[in-house]
Copies of this chain bind each other. A is one copy, B any other.
Amino acid sequence: MTPQETYDELMKRINEIMVLASCEGVLGWDHQVNLPPAGAAFRAKQSSLLAGMVHERFVDPKIGELLSAIEGSDLVKDADSVEAATVRELRHDYDKETKLPKELVVEFEKTTLMAHNEWAEARAKNDFKKFLPWLEKILDLSRQKAEAYGYEGEPYNALLDNYEPGATVDEVADVFEKLRVDLVVLLDKIKNAPNKPDVSIVERGYNVEKQKVFGELVAAAMGYDFNGGRLDVATHPFTTGLGPGDTRITTRYNPHRLNDALFGTIHEAGHALYEMGLDKEKYYGTVLAESASLGIHESQSRMWENMVGRSKSFWRYFFPILKGMFRDSLNGVTFDDFYAAVNNVAPSYIRVEADEVTYNLHILLRFEIERALIKGDIKAADAAAEWNSRFKKYFSIDVDSDSNGCLQDVHWSSGLFGYFPTYCLGNIYAAQFFAKAKQDIPDLDKKFESGDFLTLREWLRVNVHQEGKRYRANDLCKKITGVGLSHKPMMDYMNKKFGEIYGF
């Protein structure tokens, strides 16, 4: 077989595996949106059958043989070609999936399944000790995973790479450290600032049906295509790109607070635009049909949610419409007061309720602790104390309970060490991309004010979306902005924005 024929044979297999995986995607979406409670046990059987078949087909030695036969051939000599990048990523994933011993995979699944319930109970009872043995066990298994994968430097690198391929803990930690220092300063300024937004404005009655209408209006203005998608309700909102022409978003309505569904919908629509911007029709199975990383994915959702959706120019266009729809709750509310209310910064215990500024601090703290846990610099038994002392340092608040501290998130009980940093990477990349977009489109704010959000969407499509996973996240960032990961654009953006709002 010629390298091209070998590649075609490989892609035929990968295509089928991807379609099969997308079927599991439909089941997963249905699970979170529609499944009757009594159907949960059977759904687990269905999903694990499909997941097993996907895995089995992907780790087939034939895939490894096909990859080896293409690697080094002329077909992949241009490292940035679709073929070369696709082979690079398939090799990366194939090696990772085949390196884990089956017993470890089974043990990991079994443990995290049980740990999840134990964690939920521990959180409900504010009982860190109850969760401790599970945390220890999962840390141990995670280290075993890292050893099986292999790594340079710290074992954490091997885990981080699962979610942010190619990222290394050293470069991430360096940027995070600088960011943390600057954020703590900013937060301090905000605390001592003269202005205090009146958040009661967005915590009044907001009719759910109208919230839905408004959310769909915003999503459509962003370029979310309802002909190839839908908006549903889910307890834990998410976006799923099920395949060409089928990218679905979800949200959650609070009849007494505007922000939850509104910014949630914008966030998910941002993810969805990325999925819709990948050419899945033509390039299914290749890097051009895949997102670059969780960090880059999050950069899309966070840019739309915060840099666009919480911007002055966005609301210049949308506030009159919103005010017309919610006449009672927004009666007499001025533009400036509303704008300040949706940008309120208020340090609190809970990550998922955090504002734009403190959200990053929540992540940085988690990253520091989980890195140290994996490395062995902190013992699992000390995780709660370590959490609380760092929280005090960064937020100037005493944690009142472990339920509001290190027990609040599901991630560790699910074994997702290495996942947290991608949230913050998303925010950082978002600011870097957004700064570049503003350079390229000098009148971007004017466009927003007139309801034109498609110019930004198009910029993102060309610069980010259509490149798919051709480049690793940091390389994509360099290609677009000229430099790699940098916390500066985010701090510039935040200092300017919150300086104006809070008057310092």
B228 engages A36 (CB within 8 Å): yes
Binds B, one of A15-23, A140-148, A377-385, A492-500: A15-23
Is residue A242 contacting chain B, with contact meaning CB distance below 8 A? yes
Kindly list chain B residues whose C-beta atoms are within 8 Å of the C-beta of A246.
35-36, 38-39, 42-43
A119 to B230, CA, bound (A): 30
A246 to B44, CA, bound (A): 12
Kindly list chain B residues whose C-beta atoms are within 8 Å of the C-beta of A40.
245
Kindly list chain B residues whose C-beta atoms are within 8 Å of the C-beta of A228.
36-39
Q: How many residues of A contact B (CB 8 A)?
A: 34
Chain A 235-249 interface 0/1 with B at a Cβ cutoff of 8 Å (1 = within): 000000011111010
A243 engages B27 (CB within 8 Å): no
Is residue A282 contacting chain B, with contact meaning CB distance below 8 A? no
Kindly list chain B residues whose C-beta atoms are within 8 Å of the C-beta of A244.
38-39, 41-42
B19 engages A45 (CB within 8 Å): yes
Cross-chain contact of A225 among B38, B50, B230, B243 (Cβ < 8 A)? B38
Cross-chain contact of A36 among B22, B26, B230 (Cβ < 8 A)? B230
Kindly list chain B residues whose C-beta atoms are within 8 Å of the C-beta of A229.
36
Is residue A350 contacting chain B, with contact meaning CB distance below 8 A? no
Q: Which residue of B lies closest to A230 (CB)?
A: B36
Is residue A46 contacting chain B, with contact meaning CB distance below 8 A? yes
B227 engages A37 (CB within 8 Å): yes
Kindly list chain B residues whose C-beta atoms are within 8 Å of the C-beta of A27.
23, 26
Is residue A458 contacting chain B, with contact meaning CB distance below 8 A? no
A16 to B45, CA, bound (A): 10
Interface of A is mostly: helix
A16 to B20, CA, bound (A): 16
Q: Measured between C-beta atoms, what is the minimum distance from A492 to chain B in Å?
A: 39
A245 engages B38 (CB within 8 Å): yes
A242 engages B45 (CB within 8 Å): no
Q: Measured between C-beta atoms, what is the minimum distance from A285 to chain B in Å?
A: 12
Kindly list chain B residues whose C-beta atoms are within 8 Å of the C-beta of A45.
19, 243
A49 engages B26 (CB within 8 Å): no
B36 engages A23 (CB within 8 Å): no
Which residues of A, 186-222, contact B by the 8 Å Cβ criterion?
none
Is residue A171 contacting chain B, with contact meaning CB distance below 8 A? no
CB-based closest 3 A-B pairs: A39-B246, A38-B245, A38-B228
15 A-B pairs within 8 Å (CB atoms) are namely A19-B45, A19-B46, A20-B50, A23-B50, A36-B245, A37-B228, A38-B227, A38-B228, A39-B244, A39-B246, A40-B245, A41-B244, A42-B243, A42-B245, A45-B243
Seed contacts A19-B49, A36-B227; 10 additional CB < 8 Å A-B pairs: A19-B45, A22-B42, A23-B23, A34-B230, A36-B229, A36-B245, A37-B227, A38-B225, A39-B246, A42-B242
